[in-house]
Amino acid sequence: MNLISAVYSFFKNNIVMTIAFFAACITTFFIPVDKEYIGYFDFKTLTCLFCVLAVVCALKNISFFYVIAKKLVRYFRNARLCVLALVYITFLGSMLIANDMALLTFLPLGYFVLTSTGKEKYMAFTFIMQNIAANLGGMLTPFGNPQNLYLYTKFNIPNLEFMSIMFAPFLISILLITLCCIFFLKPDVLEIEDEEIHLPKGKTVLYLLLFILAIAIVFRGIPYWIGLIIIPTAIFFVDRHALHMVDYPLLLTFVFFFIFAGNMARIDVVRSFFSYLLDKSTLLFSVASCQVISNVPSAILLSQFTGNYADLLIGVNIGGVGTLIASLASLITFREYTKHNPKRSGYYIKTFSAFNFTLLFILSGLMFLPKIM
């Protein structure tokens, strides 16, 4: 009975993964399991994602990101600048450690700063801006968002081309987020207590070297199987708890959607329908798809029907803002906020929707307008 309860809780607490699982199961009725299934899986993407997440968890366990963030935040003494610092840290963090890990790392810091200074009134706004920063900040690098890593690997996009595609929406996102913080926050004076935390030198050096190795794998500098051997082995002997902390439901979500997308691509009617819509506008259809089935599954599914990876890449990144389910990162933020403010979920959703849809319309319009002129 305990096992059944544990399995139920696991699926209930990982709703996106659960949807992916049932979607994959349903498609097997149309495309029975055969030898072609093995070709659905992008093992390099799964390996890169696992390695990055494992190293990030290890760094998090020694408070590495907390120390860096704390050093930056303590220099800012008013609410506006402090929240901007938190948002920029999350923005930068999403570029380096992926959007969901950036939120899991820096949302607690935002909570600590606001509660310790008596500025809880800014919590919903701060969490929403951190969430938007995580979703949009990660767009510039191949490993910033999970869907980026998948598309970067699937289409073998050159590094400079990848960044050039995402550079314009990235800069616009920074500007929009900054303006929101300036206009909607007051420069209230803050008093933040300094707290000294000393990093263990040996572990810090080791984890940073492993992180560099993980990034080298992402950028195709080193074969991915080397990282799969070295990184988990090293972490197992130094901090095996970090391996337990890896977001395995996210990895399983990829696995299930690989099956779903692969099967959908083999159904003639579906292939024709999606190809028709993507021919009309890959950018707009990918943005719309994210609002319904989230950005990661949208990237995996739609990549089966179009070779226009530039518009698809932009679409599934800016499409991460909008509805609460447009990105897994948004669900993480909502869960974190309601944990501290269980009676204000309605207020949060209204505020979240107002800011997210405003930014979504602006970004979509600015990216789509040049294509019709």
- Name the residue among 291, 250, 252, 253 with its Cα closest to residue 104: 250
Q: Give the range of the structural domain holding residue 315, as residue numbers without chain letter.
A: 13-372
Domain assignment of residue 49, yes or no: yes
Q: Give the pLDDT confidence score for residue 162 in this predicted structure.
A: 94
Given a contact cutoff of 8 angstroms between Cβ atoms, the answer to whether 103 and 138 are in contact is: no
Given a contact cutoff of 8 angstroms between Cβ atoms, the answer to whether 364 and 284 are in contact is: yes
- Residue 155 φ/ψ, nearest 5 degrees: -95, 0
Q: What is the pTM of this model?
A: 0.78
The Cα 180–Cα 184 span in angstroms is 6
Per the structure block, which two tokens stand in for 16? 């996106």
The Cα 86–Cα 12 span in angstroms is 31
Given a contact cutoff of 8 angstroms between Cβ atoms, the answer to whether 289 and 364 are in contact is: no
3-state secondary structure 270-296: HHHHHHHHHHHCHHHHHHHHHHHHCHH
> pLDDT below 50 — which residues of the chain?
none
Q: How far is CA 203 from CA 55, 93, 230, in A?
A: 11, 20, 15
Q: Give the pLDDT confidence score for residue 195 in this predicted structure.
A: 65
Count of structural domains within the chain: 1
The Cα 191–Cα 212 span in angstroms is 36
Beta partners for residue 189, in sequence order: 78
Q: Give the pLDDT confidence score for residue 339 in this predicted structure.
A: 79
Q: Give the pLDDT confidence score for residue 232 in this predicted structure.
A: 94
Q: Give the pLDDT confidence score for residue 146 in this predicted structure.
A: 83
Domain assignment of residue 155, yes or no: yes
Domain assignment of residue 98, yes or no: yes
The Cα 27–Cα 74 span in angstroms is 52
CB contact burial 311-331 (16+ within 10 A = b; e otherwise): bbbbbbbbbbbbbbbbbbbbb
Domain assignment of residue 5, yes or no: no
Domain assignment of residue 7, yes or no: no
Give every CB contact of residue 141 below 8 A, 6+ residues apart in sequence.
Answer: 95, 96, 148, 163
| Rg of the chain taking only CA atoms, in angstroms | 21
- Name the residue among 256, 265, 345, 190 with its Cα closest to residue 21: 256
DSSP structure class, residue 199: P
Given a contact cutoff of 8 angstroms between Cβ atoms, the answer to whether 146 and 298 are in contact is: no
Q: Give the pLDDT confidence score for residue 192 in this predicted structure.
A: 60
Domain assignment of residue 173, yes or no: yes
Domain assignment of residue 3, yes or no: no
Give every CB contact of residue 261 below 8 A, 6+ residues apart in sequence.
Answer: 40, 297, 300, 301, 303, 304
Domain assignment of residue 6, yes or no: no
Given a contact cutoff of 8 angstroms between Cβ atoms, the answer to whether 370 and 314 are in contact is: no
Beta partners for residue 78, in sequence order: 189
DSSP structure class, residue 10: H
